Amino acid sequence: MIEFRQVSKVFDSGGKKVEALKNIQLSVNKGDIFGVIGFSGAGKSTLIRTVNLLEYPTSGEVIVKGKNLAKLSHNEIREAKKDIGMIFQHFNLINSRNVFHNVAMPLLLSGYNKKAVEDQVYETLRFVGLEEKANNYPDQLSGGQKQRVGIARALVTNPSILLCDEATSALDPETTKSILNLLKRINEEYNITILIITHEMEVIKEICNRVGVMEDGQIIETGSVYEVFAHPKTATTRNFVKSVIRDEVPQSVYQLLKEKDHFSRIFKIEFFGADSGQPIVSKTAKIYNVEINVLFGNITELQGIPFGNLVVELIGDNYEIERAIEYIISQEIEVKEVIEDGSEQRIDIERVVGNALHG
């Protein structure tokens, strides 16, 4: 649907060359909700702008539905843009025009007749749930409503691609959720391919099926959201993952490790799909002669698959504990032991026990 082939973009600002995009290689498939995440300045805004030629690539090609837009004539580009809707962080509505007029604008530009415009606009407004606000002006709307107008405006020409440029970054968490739900509905009901750029991992977690992580003008990691969340390869990605799933072991666990007066070992069990947390814990407790005490848990759901970690204390004799852990590992679940770091009197080293136990 959208394919970036060796796309580079160099900005020339006062004789200084800034490389915003470096050899971007990325493809977005039809029906995807593809999220590009990165900190500000990573180049993601520039990336999304090359799709509808708000920015022209310095080199490389952006192929949209089989066509390299940059090679088309001005008229052909304008036509092609009607198939690519775009929404913005700051909505970019015409403040001097009411909601109806704002949504109608793309149709007015194409010279549709009045009746067709009216039908189309009201249908789209109904879809985004703003039918009764048609005669209001943007400054009379809340942020969420403004973004809905922006979405309606982007959808009114029935595009097959929707570009979202930090579409929820100016909204509060509650409104963000509702806008994300709306985007998901757009993807499902109209089968519109969505490309989202954001710095909020929450957005990726909520609706994307595939993700690309961007840093310093490059895509440093890409894959299904699940893959990338479960096995982040770079520090940047790990940081983003941490922003939605707390990965570190809380202090209280270390405290307990130090102060407990019975024999036990503490493990961090990481769930990447497969079975969810509880059955494994209770099964293990049933089969082996260990007591399992859940100290801390952070399980969320990614595209319907449970994902996260549990910190558990296994109480029993060492042999049983080892066997129990071996069992858990055999269920394709990663386990790390939480141990005390002697040198610092603090316990913050996680030893991977998988290999030791198997080897």
Chain residues that interact with another protein, rule: CB under 8 A? 52, 54, 77-82, 84, 86, 88, 90-97, 105-106, 108-109, 137, 153, 157, 163
Instruction: Identify which of residues 153 and 205 has a Cβ nearer to another protein in the complex.
Output: 153
Pairing of strands 84-87, 161-165: parallel
CB of 95 to another protein, least distance (A): 7
Contact 170, 9 (CB under 8 A): no
Instruction: Identify which of residues 55 and 337 has a Cβ nearer to another protein in the complex.
Output: 55
Which two three-digit tokens encode residue 5?
């082939």
**123 contacts: CB under 8 Å, gap ≥ 6:** none
Instruction: Identify which of residues 91 and 267 has a Cβ nearer to another protein in the complex.
Output: 91
Only one residue has tokens 């952070």, namely 298
Instruction: Identify which of residues 90 and 260 has a Cβ nearer to another protein in the complex.
Output: 90
Q: Compute the distance between CA of residue 25 and CA of residue 43 in angstroms, rounded to an integer.
A: 14
CB of 65 to another protein, least distance (A): 15
CB of 349 to another protein, least distance (A): 49
190, with CB counted inside 10 A (0-12, 13-18, 19+), is middle
CB of 128 to another protein, least distance (A): 17
Instruction: Identify which of residues 52 and 236 has a Cβ nearer to another protein in the complex.
Output: 52
Instruction: Identify which of residues 64 and 311 has a Cβ nearer to another protein in the complex.
Output: 64
Q: Compute the distance between CA of residue 133 and CA of residue 135 in angstroms, rounded to an integer.
A: 6
User: Which residue type is seen at 256?
Assistant: L
Q: Compute the distance between CA of residue 208 and CA of residue 224 in angstroms, rounded to an integer.
A: 9
Torsion of CA 232, 235, 236, 242, to 10 degrees: 70
Q: Is 130 helix (H, G, I), strand (E, B) or coil?
A: coil
CB of 58 to another protein, least distance (A): 16
CB of 92 to another protein, least distance (A): 4
